[in-house]
Structure 1
Amino acid sequence: MFDTPLTVLSRRLVLSRRLRAVALAIGLGLGLGLAALPADAQSVNPTALSVQEQQLLQSLHKVEGRVSIPDAKSGVLIQPEGQAWRDFHEKTLPQVGTWGLLGTLALVLLFWVVRGRIRIEAGPSTRTITRFNGFERFVHWLTASSFVVLALSGLNVTFGKHILLPAIGPHAFHVVSELAKLAHNYLSFPFTLGVVLMLLVWIKDNIPNGVDVVWFLKGGGILGKGHPPAGRFNGGQKLIFWAVVLGGGAIAATGYLLMFPFYVTDIAGMQTAQMVHGLLAVAVAAVIIGHIYIGSVGMEGAFDAMGSGEVDLNWAKEHHSLWVEDATRKNPGIVHNPGRMAPAE
């Protein structure tokens, strides 16, 4: 049975109407989809060979796909914050670290050239006074030794591939970096313990007061002649104490956010934590460089405080006169007479 011309024409009209309806629906769908995209995205073809990564990021804010595993965030391939973090880690932090640490070393060297070693003005005496007991010295060296290893291993993360890798080669650099990473992770725990113990043991002696203001106004006895009165810790030592407690505590906290990822924060939070971690580490390291200098070669008699715990009585009277008066009044037996001390070289 053959269709009549009228029947064929009718079917063609119906088909034409259906095709127009489908085309209209597709057009509306595309229009709504494009309207929902950012303005820049409407002009970017993500499959084009010439498309640039930056164009995609500006248009789509991040490059991500679909994954079948429960961890949905693993589908994110690139996100702008990651690029900002990479720029910070590869450019900003090395620059800050270089200027901060080398600048501190330069200032210490300049101070040594201009001021020289700070001597005991009255000369060494025949008597000593107990400044720190064994437990206090343990807390100090626990924190100090841990921090030195943490600082060196952290410097390897920032500068290692630029300085150490060309010097020792890839194989040795791999071994050193692997050991440094393990040391950095595990020594964070004794460092944190040391910071907590420092806070508990010495906070009562490190509360700022008016004596510290006078100490700073007179240059702490480091600039010029004479030494202003000070308690067990002077104003400068109190600054170091709070820099280590607050700065070290923040370094530890941000470090643990990185050691245990996604337990507390997301990837953006960890990127921020790493930035704070790096900047604070540079700042505290700069403070510690000055502390090491004054506590060793920069000042006669200073190292004995954390070495044997016994310091020369004349040194104590010059640098911590108020503490000597208070300590000897409470416990006269704190002063000892071990015999004539040999002058420091």
Structure 2
Amino acid sequence: MLLKSLRSLFTVLALPLILAMGLGLSATAYAVDDQTSQQMATATTSDADLWRAVQSGESGYTTEKGVEGGVLINVSAIEGTNIKNEYLTPAMALAVVGVFGAFLLFFLVNGPSKLSHGFSGKMVLRWTKADIWLHWLLAISCMALIFTGLNIMLGKHVLQPYVGTGIWASLIYGSKTIHDYVGPLFIISWALCVVKWMPLQTFKMYDLKWFLVVGGYINFGPFKGKHPDSGFANAGEKMWFWTLTFFGLFISVSGIMLVLPALDLPREASMAALLIHGISAIILIAFTIVHIWMATVLSEGGMECMKSGYCDENWAVQHHNLWYDEIKENGTLQYKE
């Protein structure tokens, strides 16, 4: 009887304890599950925030000591590349094909600007030997940069699909190497030309008329036979000179920024330099094509000036009459012996 009473008492005391322990374990398990879910949600949110920060170009922490070492994705580089591919590359192609095509059409319709009185046979000194060497040094380096730059920008669209992988690799590597090493030669010759020829390039009021009659190059209509006044340099040559001066400066400074890794520039500065370099190149390429057409094919007798330094006297009178009158008056007129 006593033993039965003790078992009943134990049951009464133990049952609540067991129930309490069961409820406690259940609550603990639920709490753990809830905490785990919260941690997983927090981790997911944290990962998403981290990825958004990486994509937006935010800088993190790293042991790398270089500029922007903590930036995994550079947004400005991506945007700059898109601008180059979507705008600069087509504009460069248009500058080459469009400007060259326009002048070719003009030449086929209009023909060259002939000397009204033909060649006199008397040659007048116009450029010194130093000027000629300086001109060709600048011209050759400029053309080398133009052709290699065009291959770097447009070659993958124009050449790469039609040549083998090995040939294309050699072409693009050669273009990049030549471009980098010819650059300093261009900068030096450009600076010397700017300093030496700047006094001859100031605009005058009579230059406006040169533009109004298209320099006297039109062989038909009301402009035919109109030869505007011009000094040593005509208005078109002055425009070319100042375009070369300013955009030559931009292309030189940006080029230096791109080829000197020791500068350790931020990616934004490098991308800005690349875009400025490309824009300046497009403008200079367009004006170079114009300059070559105007000085050679469209001007009868014009090429001789930069071959020997002398020009025909009738050419000087027709295209640079004010300069001819000046040297004739002050006694500096020199004929080729």
TM (normalized to structure 2)? 0.81
Instruction: String of CA shifts for 1:34-70, please: whole Å, max 9, x gaps.
Output: 9xxxxxxx697369xxxxxxxx458851266543332
Task: Tell me which residue corresponds to 1:257.
Answer: 257
The Cα shift of 1:136 comes to 0.6
Unaligned 5+ segments in structure 1 are 35-41, 48-55, 339-345
Does residue 141 (structure 1) correspond to residue 136 (structure 2)? The answer is yes
Question: 1:109 matched to which residue of 2?
Answer: 104
Q: Give the equivalent residue in structure 2 for 1:293.
A: 293
Q: For each residue in 1:190-222, what CA deviation from the matched residue of structure 2 results, as whole angstroms up to 9, or x when unmatched?
A: 111111111111111101111212222232112
SS of match in other structure, 2:311: strand
Render the CA deviation track for 1:298-331: whole Å, top value 9, x for unaligned.
2110001111111100001000000011112233
User: What amino acid maps onto 2:155 in structure 1?
Assistant: G
Task: Tell me the distance in 1 between the aligned counterparts of 2:302 and 2:227.
Answer: 15
Mapped to 1, the partners of 2:142 and 2:82 lie a distance apart of: 26
Among 137, 148, 152, the residue aligned to 2:147: 152
Partner residue, 2:5: none
1:45 aligns with 2:48: yes
Tell me if 1:164 matches 2:159.
yes
The CA distance in 1 between the partners of 2:279 and 2:266, in whole Å, is 20
Cα 1:139–1:60, aligned 2, differ >3 Å: closer, same or farther? same
CA change 1:263–1:210 in 2 (3 A) is same
C-alpha displacement at 1:81, in angstroms? 1.3
1:263 Cα deviation after fit: 2.0
> Is the radius of gyration larger for structure 1 or structure 2?
2
**Per-residue displacement from partner, 1:66-109 (whole Å, max 9, x unpaired)?**
43332262332212212211212322221111222211012111
Segments of structure 2 that go 5 or more residues without pairing to the other structure are 1-16
Q: 1:153 to 1:123 in 2, by over 3 A?
A: same
Q: Equivalent residues in 2 for 1:20-39 (5 A)? A: none
| SS of structure 2 residue aligned to 1:73 | coil
Counterparts of residues 187-198 of structure 1 (less than 5 Å)? 187-198=182-193
Structure 1 pair 60–230 and aligned structure 2 pair: CA distance change class (3 A): same
Q: Give the SS at the match of 2:268.
A: helix
- Aligned residue for 1:99? 94
Q: Percent identity?
A: 26
Question: How far does residue 114 in structure 1 lie from its aligned partner after superposition?
Answer: 1.9
* Letter matched to residue 300 of structure 1: E
Counterpart of 1:326? Answer: 326
- Answer yes or no: is 1:73 the counterpart of 2:68: yes
C-alpha distance in structure 1 between counterparts of 2:87 and 2:226, whole Å: 42
1:342 matched to which residue of 2?
none
Compare the two structures and name the one with the higher helix fraction.
2
Match of 2:120 in 1: 125
3-state DSSP class of the match of 1:231? coil
Structure 2 CA distance for aligned equivalents of residues 121 and 57 of structure 1? 72
Deviations 1:142-167 (A, max 9, x none): 11100101011111111112222222
Q: Give the aligned length.
A: 308
Moved more, 80-89 or 249-258: 80-89
After superposition, residues 222-261 of structure 1 pair within 5 angstroms as 222-223=217-218, 224=223, 225-261=225-261
Residues 206/264 of structure 1: CA separation in 2 closer, same or farther (3 Å cut) = farther
| Aligned-residue CA RMSD (Å) | 3.2
Structure 1 residue aligned with 2:216: 221
Whichever residue aligns with residue 90 of structure 1, its letter is N
Structure 2 counterpart SS, 1:120: coil
* Cα distance in 1, alignment partners of residues 67 and 118 from structure 2: 70
Partner in structure 1 of residue 10 of structure 2: none
User: Relative to structure 2, which stretch is displaced further, 94-103 or 237-246?
Assistant: 94-103
Q: What is the letter of the counterpart of residue 315 of structure 2?
A: W
Q: Does the CA contact (< 8 Å) of 1:213 and 1:235 recur in 2?
A: yes
- Partners of 2:170 and 2:70 in 1: how far apart? 32
Structure 2 residue aligned with 1:52:
none
Q: 1:226 to 1:280 in 2, by over 3 A?
A: same
CA-to-aligned-CA distance 1:165-200 (integer Å, 9 cap, x gap)? 222211111112222111111111111111111111
Instruction: Give how far 1:137 is off.
Output: 0.9
State which drifts further: 222-231 or 235-244. Answer: 222-231
C-alpha distance in 2 between matches for 1:237 and 1:155: 24
- Looking at structure 2, the residues matched to 120 and 94 of structure 1 have their Cα atoms a distance apart, in angstroms, of 40
AA of the residue aligned to 1:164: L
The CA deviation string for residues 239-285 of structure 1, in whole angstroms up to 9 with x for no partner, is: 00011111111111111111124727421011011111101101110
Moved more, 150-159 or 253-262: 253-262
Measure the CA separation in 2 of the matches of 1:264 and 1:213.
Answer: 46
Give the whole-Å Cα distance in 2 for the aligned partners of 1:206 and 1:320. Answer: 13
Structure 1's 57 and 219: CA in aligned 2 closer, same or farther, altered over 3 A? Answer: farther
Assess if the C-alpha contact under 8 Å between 1:44 and 1:59 holds in 2.
no
The corresponding residue for 2:6 is none
Relative to structure 2, which stretch is displaced further, 84-93 or 230-239?
84-93
Deviation at 1:117, TM superposition (A): 1.1
Regions of 4+ moved over 3 Å: 56-60, 63-67
